[in-house]
Structure formats: C-alpha cells, structure tokens
Structure 1
C-alpha cells in the first residue's frame, strides 16, 4: 500500500495505492457501501462485495450473495475469498440499516433482526475473517511474522448510536454497541489487526431524496449541518481508504458528520419571540 499527495483545487489531495490488497465490503452493492467498494477498486485492490440478493446490475467488485446474519453464510463468504485469493487484508462492515420502527406497536422479532444486522453480523464477519486478517501483509505472505498491524477492520457506525434515535431505537442501540465492539476488538486483536469505526452522520445516497422529502428536503437537511451539506459516499470512502492503510490508528471513532447537527433549540430560539 502506498499513499501519495498532490496539490489540486481545494488543497492537497491524498490518493492511496491498495494494489495487492483484498478487500471485503459487506452491503457493497449500493449507497455508501458501493461508494466504498468503488474507491478501493480505483485504488487497485481486489474487491469482494456481498448482499443477500443479486441486484441484477453491475456492482463494484466481485459479488458473493450472502446473509451476514447467518453464520453458515458468513463462513461460506470468507471461505470463498480464502479459496480464490488466499488472503484478506481489509473488511469493511457496512451492511446495516433499519426501517422506521417505533418501539410501541412493533414486533419483538423486527427489533431482534435489526440488532442482528447492525451488531451481531459485523461481529460474525470480523470473527471469521480474523485469521486471514492477522496473516495479512507481505511479510506474512512470505512465511515470516508480520512487521506490524496490516489487517484492518472498519466498522461503519452511525451518529444514531451517539444521540437519541427516536423511531429507530433498536438501530441506534445496535450502532452504539457496534462502536463499543470495535473498541473491544481493537484491544483484543492488537497488534496484529487494527479495528476502527467511521461514525457517519446524515448522508446523501440514492435513497436520501425519498427519505427526506425530495431534493428540497435534502437541501434543508444539509443546511442543518455546519459543513453545509450531508456526507457523500465518497466522503466515507476517503476515511476508509485512510484507515485501511497500515499504521498506528486503532480503536478510534472517526466522526464523519460535517460538524454534527445544528440543535433544534437554535431554530426555536431564533424564531418569533426567541
């Protein structure tokens, strides 16, 4: 892996060369996951993406259909990577999400499945991938001890796990658990494998317009962020490319939220009579 920098419009642009690395991105067929997978492809990596169903369209990398909530599917997924490439250097646990599901009046099974997808599944994938990640790096491939931590697990977290998440309580609780899981694995697996979390705030994907009430809704939501816009898949991918590069950072939570969300009391206080 090589990192280079070049001066461009807006300042220094950093690019990464992940040639020779094998990267798994769960949920990598659309949205943020597809953006991450595409960025690793552009950086020269061999990329495997997984989803429960074949989307029937081109995906950024080699597709393996798998339900990451199912231990047997996870074993098959990582086993196929091992058989095909003989190594695995980076896992991006991106698969997740939740419908709007207030706790009152919704089924216990629905909330259990949300927790399984957003917390249990990343644990299963990381656990199964660990032996390959721990052997990552050119020194390990030659039969010697690795010079340092080259295997990397990146959890895609959410600001819903750091603040109240009404309407998606199980999702928020699972993401909070995911953040803690990453910190625990970072301590448990050091120095062989690094584990970090990208805590994503409001993000603009192909589903954003429908979720936030159309383009105008997206614009209004972006205006509520100090950076003036929502995060893009490219923003998340840039953080993942950096965290995947061999280095010292482990157990970290990278807050990718554009400065956070401007609190509602600011709008209330500035209104009539405020």
Structure 2
C-alpha cells in the first residue's frame, strides 16, 4: 500500500467517520498524525488532537500553525471537514446564511487551509494534498443543493491548484465518495425507519432502491481511507489533478 513512516499528516474532520478512518490508516502506515475538529469527541486515538473551526476566516491559519509546530512541518494535508445544510424546501427556501455556511465549511475551509500549509510544503520541496469531495457534486439533492454546489466548486479548485503547484512537487487530488456507511447515514436511516414505520433493515433496503449501485452495497469508511492512504503515498507519486470516484459504480458515466 505504501510506507508513510516519518511523514507528517494533518487531517481535518478527523475524529469521526471518514476522517477518523483516514487518520487510522495513515497512522498504521507510519505517519505522524494530527487530527482536528471543532470540538473534542469522537475518535481522537489516531493522532494528536487540535480543536479548530476551519469554517471561520482565521481558523485554518491557526490550525496550520499549531499542527506544524507540533509535527515539525506538514507533508500530507487531508481536507475532510465539511458543512452540509439540509433545507427540505429546496433552493428557493435556502437563505444566504444556508449558502454561506456550506461554502465556508465545504469549500473555503480547504482553500484557506491549503493557503496556510502550502508555503511550508513548497519550502520543504514537496507535499501531498487530498480534498474529500462528494458524489453530491454530480448528483445534487434538492435539500442539500448548497453542499453539492460547494463540492462541485471544490473539484474545479482542486484541478486548478494541482496545475499551479505541481512545479513545486506538490500533488493535489480529489476523492469523491458515493454512499458511505457513516454515523450520518445511520442517523438518516433511523429517520427513514421512523417516518415509514419500518425496521432499520427495511429502511436501508428502500434507501438503496432509490439508487442504482452496481455493487449492491454502501461503501465503508475503510474503503475511502484505503484510497486516500494510497494517494498520499510514494506509490502514487505521478498522480495529481485527478478526481478519484469511489461509489460502487453509482455514477452512470465515467
């Protein structure tokens, strides 16, 4: 898979779900890991924890500074933090505040953190950035249109940034998960179970029937983390500026 011994990694949204799995996989490969989230909680065992709100204008810069001080530098950055505002009424019911919350949490959080971390990577002669996108960029849901829009913008930003910093031996890639078994999905399934007066297994089956996943299952956080672990490793040294879709074949086109 790739040895990461001695490499220094910062992972936002790293205490639960996909972020925690990424932290665990990178740590298992030998990386020194810092994880961040707004509040303590979740799984902090995979790395040193720093509290930070990367959706704020100054949060990313402070996080980058503290993480670099703790690690002695940052070789790997995984921008996993995100904000998803659900508005059942759809686009016409979304306020400016709804849009700004997701743009700040799912796009500008990465832009600002990259801007804070990149000078150190360039000075050190290279580094790797992975942005965690979403299938919602291509299949936006009406109640979460702001989130899907922010993730679509993240894809364009990722490609542009990769083109710009490649000459400094910094690689930038995007990972776009489909339906992944996280606490958020479990919560949603419980909601559907209650709304439909069914058991959880029935709610899950009905949920999957709304999507045509060729592998006929949802993905796991370890599926995503394994991909990220590869992308940040020397084994992926010639891969940059690409969108790696991990969705069980959900998208109907390549």
Corresponding position: 1:187 with 2:175: no
Give the whole-Å Cα distance in 1 for the aligned partners of 2:64 and 2:98.
Answer: 27
Q: Partner residue of 1:255?
A: 245
Q: CA deviation at 1:219?
A: 4.1
Q: 2:112 aligns with which of 99, 124, 127?
A: 124
The residue number in structure 1 matching 2:67 is 81
| Alpha-carbon distance, 1:56 to partner | 6.8
After superposition, the Cα gap between the structure-2 partners of 1:182 and 1:211, relative to the gap in structure 1 and judged at 3 Å, is: same
Structure in which a larger fraction of residues adopt strand: 1
1:155-184 CA distances to partner (integer Å, 9 max, x unpaired)? 101111012321111111100000000000
Q: Distance in 2 between matches of 1:31 and 1:106?
A: 27
CA distance in 1, matches of 2:205, 2:216: 9
The structure carrying a bigger helix percent of its residues is: 2
Aligned residues: 237
SS at match of 2:97: helix
Deviation at 1:205, TM superposition (A): 1.0
Distance 1:70 1:208 in 2: 26
- The answer to whether the 8 A contact 1:114-1:170 is kept is yes
Q: Partners in 1 of 2:129 and 2:43 — Cα distance?
A: 27
Q: Which residue of 2 aligns with 1:164?
A: 140
State the secondary structure of the residue aligned to 1:195.
Answer: strand
1: distance between equivalents of 2:247 and 2:241? 19
Q: Which sections of structure 2, spanning at least 5 residues, go unmatched? A: 193-199
Partners in 2 of 1:209 and 1:217 — Cα distance? 10
State the shift of 1:106 in Å: 3.5
SS in 1 for 2:171: strand
Partner SS for 2:104:
helix
TM-score by length of 2: 0.87
Contact 1:209 1:217 in 2 (8 A): no
- Cα distance in 1 for partners of 2:43, 2:218 equals 26
Partner residue in 1 for 2:130: 154
TM-score (norm 1): 0.81
Report the aligned-residue RMSD: 1.9
Given the alignment, which residue of 76, 89, 94 partners 1:106?
A: 94
Q: 2:127–2:171: 8 Å Cα contact kept in structure 1? A: yes
| Larger relative contact order (Cα-Cα within 8 Å, sequence gap ≥ 6) | 2
Q: 1:97 to 1:217 in 2, by over 3 A?
A: farther
CA 1:75–1:164 in 2, change beyond 3 Å: closer, same or farther?
closer
The offset of 1:90, in angstroms, is: 0.7
In structure 2, the CA distance between the partners of 1:262 and 1:220, relative to structure 1 (3 Å rule), is farther
Change (3 A) 1:168 1:44: same
- 3-state secondary structure, aligned to 1:91: strand
